[in-house]
Structure 1
Amino acid sequence: MTEILDLPADATAAETPQSTAPRRKLFIKSYGCQMNAYDAQKMSDLLAPAGFDETQSLDDADLVILNTCHIRERASEKTFSELGKVREVKLARRADGLATQIVVAGCVAQAEGSEILRRQKAVDLVVGPQNYHRLPDLLRRAETAPVIDTEFPVEDKFDFLVKAPRRITQARGVTAFVTVQEGCDKFCTFCVVPYTRGTEVSRPVEKIVAEIEDLADAGVREITLLGQNVNAYHGEGPDGRTWSLAKLCARLAEVPGIARLRYTTSHPNDMDDDLIAAHRDLPALMPFLHLPVQSGSDTILTAMNRKHNRESYREIVRRLRVARPDIALSSDFIVGFPGESDADFAATLDLIREIGFASTFFFKYSPRLGTPGADMDAQVPEDVKAARLIELQDLVETQRRAFNQSLVGRTLAVLFEKTGRHAGQIAGRSPYLQPVQVDASDTMIGRVAPVEITGVGPNSLFGRLIPREAERL
């Protein structure tokens, strides 16, 4: 029988002793957003004291975790397709006398827990994104019967997560994600996040600072602050007051070793005066902002329950560019939302032309079960969605290329992250997140140095390190 758990608050990873059994292999495949990537790392860190080391080979894994995303079209079917492949691996290993546990985590797990166990009997454990801190105990329970744990817990999972060893953090590179806020209270009619991640919750400032100080001590130079609605951050400060994202960024900019800060994903309604001013006043805050607008039509924005309109978005962009003239923007767009007319879609294209984006994410609307949009009349035919998506893609790709080309001849500060594809080459990221390839020594990895941009490739910039400036860094 399936065991559906309501665990007490103390049944957490904090009490998991270091295992003395032989080390086992863990394979994690993570889908979707950066928060899932962060969660995957935390699951790996959590399971290390329980005897698991990560592997890149599914065939060798004693434990397989699929960390799922429920945002995009056919997310559930993609999960079940992947589970079919993992099941075959489990059966092959069983024939060789080897045991394999399969875990489905993340937002598909949260939304469809019992359905996963019904459709795929090989799954041992289904765990929601707020409950993975219980993994070691859940895995023990799942040895005797399949387990579902998707109830929102009373305890804060962040209180029970495990710090990665310094060597592991160093191996992950000089950039890192840190979740500071989870959940969303906006209830956009296309979105499942409030149902899978819950309402908005912000971590206390001191705990975020402690995590980032540990990362900086291990050589991390750039932090991206994560949240489903990150600029709604309202965490408790060390002074007992509620701190905004702007105030948090100012504190994090003081952490020794942290050269760069970013944050994602934002909502236009939470771009307040202090946060706009932070883009002006904090050199560590990169001049690149992901600010989803979703549509350029007020009619569609109202149907989406976005609570902003075209003009308010334009005004936010204007104020950001006054505060930080070199800022560049990226955004999200959904085409084919129910009721979207040709005129509504044209309004979206007009807004894109007016604003100008350095990069853009775009999607055909797909109904998500349980959201208001799924039950709306006037669903747009698939062929119309596809045609609009192609037209939008052509426009935003033209803008992306134009923005990249505009950087040729400019000098940008580049954070070098790793060796390049070719001997003698290193790769880093510009302030605008583009990959930058430079001929230089790998001793520059982890350093920020000025680079003159000399060329543009399909997906990268190419540049020349400015030696005299670099020597002073």
Structure 2
Amino acid sequence: MATYHIETYGCTSNRGESREIERRLRDGGHRPADGPADADVAILNTCTVVEKTERNMLRRAEELESETADLIVTGCMALAQGEEFRDAGVDARILHWEDVPNAVLNGECPTPSDGTDPILDGEVGILPIARGCMSNCSYCITKFATGRIDSPPVEENVEKARALVHAGASEIRVTGQDTGVYGWDDGERKLPELLDRICDIDGEFRVRLGMANPGGVHGIADDLVDVFARNEKLYNFIHLPVQSGSDDVLEDMRRQHRVDKFLDVVETFDDRLDHWTLSTDFIVGFPTETDHDHAQSMALLREVRPEKVNVTRFSKRPGTDAADMKGLGGTVKKERSKEMSEVKRDIVGEAYEELVGTTRDVLVVEEGTADSVKCRDGAYRQIIVQNAAERGVEPGDFVTVEVTGQNTMYAFGDPV
């Protein structure tokens, strides 16, 4: 028996891949160590979405190298910028995540269908339904690591979801670089079918759909919203990263949608669902973004009023076309980011204030701090229950709460 230590950074897809690495290592007889210094092998699953993250990954790799005898680096930065670790003098094996278990177990790795149940993050099971995307965004380095969409069959993903439920997952997070184009590599649009099939699995659980670009969702919006409307297990939540409110900037970004397509999808959900949550992303300070373009993004933010917004300052990534563009100054990006973040907080705070005084059915998803638990209502809004132990509330429970207050990004609730 040997021991391992694994650290994961970045998106939910990375976390799902790390859980699969762990499952195969445990099937092969390995066990988790208390920390990197006690591990026979340390595994760093990396992200490289922005320059700051890249620097953090290099620093963490150097730290882990000094603490463990054997270091493996995998994930997006390993695949897209593996030479950066070598140039920094990091002594590590650079591997695709699927190759990590075999490398650690010297080729004696059980197949994905063998062995133990999948490993959960508490009550949460992560289901990466595909790898890659159909986009060619001018600023994105992740595509160099993930490539074009590669969609496993629907039945294969349903069986993985069933295994997660069998292992005790009360929430399944369907994830991928772009879930909306699942099946496009086979010439089909399979996401609605997949979600229906997952929701048909016996058991008490909820399903959250991960990031889906507007360009892919636009063609299946009617079918997709039908799936949401008929399945109570599916959170009424969708993550549609618009990135900009300016068609000119979207064209320079080489996004596969324009603002009208994004708005079409939002309107489709508005028309069919009484309560749902829109999550979106904005990149501020793209090299070609003018003051007018930024104003259009601000106007779109105020128009659609998403309840979850990720605001990211543009960061040049090596090898991308946008890296060769003349960038905007750091002060401009900082000011635009601050303005958008302030409006975002107002919008989200107002949405949670509207919940105060209402009664919501929620799933307790995970433990919080100071004897609190984090819950999600049917639209994936976060509600915190405090003093959970004395109230007999724990992760995995379905409870009814009265919303008593809010703190801008989440609400507070008392069990009824």
Whether the TM-score (by the shorter chain) exceeds 0.5 is: yes
Q: Deviations over 1:4-28 (max 9, x none)?
A: xxxxxxxxxxxxxxxxxxx322111
Please state whether the residue corresponding to 1:42 is helix, strand or coil.
helix
Q: Deviations over 1:376-429 (max 9, x none)?
A: 2x4211111111111111111111111111111122221123455456x54422
- Deviation of 1:162 after TM superposition, in Å, equals 5.6
- Deviation of 1:32 after TM superposition, in Å, equals 0.6
Structure 1 contact 185–199 (Cα < 8 Å) conserved: yes
Residue identity in the other structure for 2:404: T
Q: Deviations over 1:137-162 (max 9, x none)?
A: 424679xxxxxxxxxxxxxx9x9436
User: What does residue 44 of structure 2 align with?
Assistant: 66
Residue identity in the other structure for 1:58: P
* Structural mapping, 1:100-139, within 5 Å: 100-123=69-92, 125-128=93-96, 132-139=97-104
Q: Which of 201, 224, 233 lines up with 1:275 in the alignment?
A: 224
Matched, 1:393 2:341: yes
> Percent of aligned positions with the same letter in both sequences?
28
- Deviation of 1:42 after TM superposition, in Å, equals 1.0
Please state whether the residue corresponding to 2:361 is helix, strand or coil.
strand
Matched, 1:451 2:397: no
User: What does residue 315 of structure 1 align with?
Assistant: 264
Structure 1 contact 414–448 (Cα < 8 Å) conserved: yes
Larger Rg: 1
Q: Counterparts of 1:176 and 1:163 in 2: how far apart (Å)?
A: 18
Matched, 1:336 2:336: no
The Cα RMSD (Å) is 2.5
Instruction: Report which stretch shifted further, 327-336 or 256-265.
Output: 256-265
Q: Counterparts of 1:26 and 1:460 in 2: how far apart (Å)?
A: 36
Instruction: Report which stretch shifted further, 392-401 or 432-441.
Output: 432-441
Please state whether the residue corresponding to 1:314 is helix, strand or coil.
helix
Matched, 1:254 2:238: no
Q: Counterparts of 1:74 and 1:419 in 2: how far apart (Å)?
A: 29
* Structural mapping, 1:372-451, within 5 Å: 372-376=321-325, 378-418=326-366, 421-422=369-370, 426-431=373-378, 432-438=380-386, 439=388, 441-442=391-392, 445-451=395-401
Aligned length: 409
User: What does residue 145 of structure 2 align with?
Assistant: 196
Please state whether the residue corresponding to 2:27 is helix, strand or coil.
coil
Instruction: Report which stretch shifted further, 284-293 or 44-53.
Output: 44-53
Structure 1 contact 113–126 (Cα < 8 Å) conserved: yes
Instruction: Report which stretch shifted further, 412-421 or 303-312.
Output: 412-421
User: What does residue 29 of structure 1 align with?
Assistant: 7
* Structural mapping, 1:73-92, within 5 Å: 73-90=51-68
Structure 2 contact 6–43 (Cα < 8 Å) conserved: yes
Q: Counterparts of 1:456 and 1:136 in 2: how far apart (Å)?
A: 44
Q: Counterparts of 1:340 and 1:296 in 2: how far apart (Å)?
A: 10
Residue identity in the other structure for 1:104: V
Q: Counterparts of 1:444 and 1:85 in 2: how far apart (Å)?
A: 36
Matched, 1:348 2:297: yes
What are the ranges of 5 or more consecutive residues in structure 2 without an aligned counterpart? none
Q: Counterparts of 2:274 and 2:142 in 1: how far apart (Å)?
A: 33
Q: Counterparts of 1:311 and 1:417 in 2: how far apart (Å)?
A: 35
User: What does residue 217 of structure 1 align with?
Assistant: 166
- TM-score, normalised to structure 2, is 0.91
Q: Counterparts of 1:455 and 1:371 in 2: how far apart (Å)?
A: 45
Q: Counterparts of 2:125 and 2:148 in 1: how far apart (Å)?
A: 25
Structure 2 contact 23–119 (Cα < 8 Å) conserved: no
Q: Deviations over 1:416-458 (max 9, x none)?
A: 23455456x5442233241421556446542322211111135
What are the ranges of 5 or more consecutive residues in structure 1 without an aligned counterpart? 1-22, 91-99, 143-156, 467-473
Matched, 1:462 2:401: no
Cα 1:104–1:169 change in 2 (3 A) is: closer
Q: Counterparts of 1:281 and 1:195 in 2: how far apart (Å)?
A: 38
